[in-house]
Structure 1
Amino acid sequence: MVVHLPNGRAPDRVRDALIETVRCLPRHLKRSLTWDQGSEMGRHHEFTAAADMPVYFCDPASPWQRGGR
């Protein structure tokens, strides 16, 4: 999924946009989120708590680990 971030990629804005996006998903699609390395996910623990969805990070220089391609 692509999440629109019209107000920037600050960690709190990314967290809020992702929480809003996953609220619309059926439960069977909310198993986990895999992300590249990046400071925009600095509040991933807060996202996990709010969405009940763990976040995993790709190894450096390994974007294919995200899947969805």
Structure 2
Amino acid sequence: MDRSTRFVLLLQLPDDISAVASQKAMTKAIQTHRLVLMKSITWDHGSELARHKNFSLITGIPVFLLDSHSPWRRGLNENTNGPLRQHLPKGTDLKKYSADDLKKIQRRLNGRPGKTLGYEVPEEKLNELVAVSR
């Protein structure tokens, strides 16, 4: 999730959800999407994200860890969970979803207008950001 555009990126991880596999998948996703403009990323405290320092070294993007005991400080994350749970209810076995399924869900989430974006959609805001940076 990008704070300035509210753009959501969903990744399908291999069966190996180790920190190494997660870091590789996220690095590849950041480098292959237009998200190289990101100034920072905020991650949860899951063990699969333990290699956040390596991620930062490779991508040049600093990673901040969420305070797991302060949900009021994680508004963007918490407000993204609602729309995400409409497509992927809590407890869903994500192995049932293909990369194409996740891309469809990602497109739906990134195609929803938001009040904080002046009722533009995240995809449009990301495109604007990319155009300005050129």
Class of the TM-score when normalised by the shorter of the 2 chains: 0.7 to 0.9
Q: How many pairs are equivalent? A: 68
**Is residue 34–residue 55 contact of structure 1 (8 Å, CA) maintained in 2?**
yes
Of 31, 37, 48, 2:45 maps to 37
Map of 2:84 onto structure 1: none
Deviation, structure 1 residue 67: 2.2
Map of 2:61 onto structure 1: 53
Root-mean-square deviation (Å): 2.1
Find the residue that maps to 1:67 and give its secondary structure.
Answer: helix
TM-score (norm 2): 0.45
Q: From the CA coordinates, give the structure whose radius of gyration is larger.
A: 2
Hey, which bits of structure 1, 4+ residues long, moved more than 4 A? none
Structure ranking higher on relative contact order (CA contacts 8 Å, 6+ apart): 1
Deviation, structure 1 residue 18: 0.5
CA distance in 1, matches of 2:72, 2:24: 23
**Is residue 67–residue 73 contact of structure 2 (8 Å, CA) maintained in 1?**
no
1:65 aligns with 2:39: no
Find the residue that maps to 1:6 and give its secondary structure.
Answer: coil
Structure 1 unaligned regions, length at least 5: none
- Higher strand content, 1 or 2: 1
**Is residue 11–residue 42 contact of structure 1 (8 Å, CA) maintained in 2?**
yes
Map of 2:23 onto structure 1: 15
- Higher helix content, 1 or 2: 2
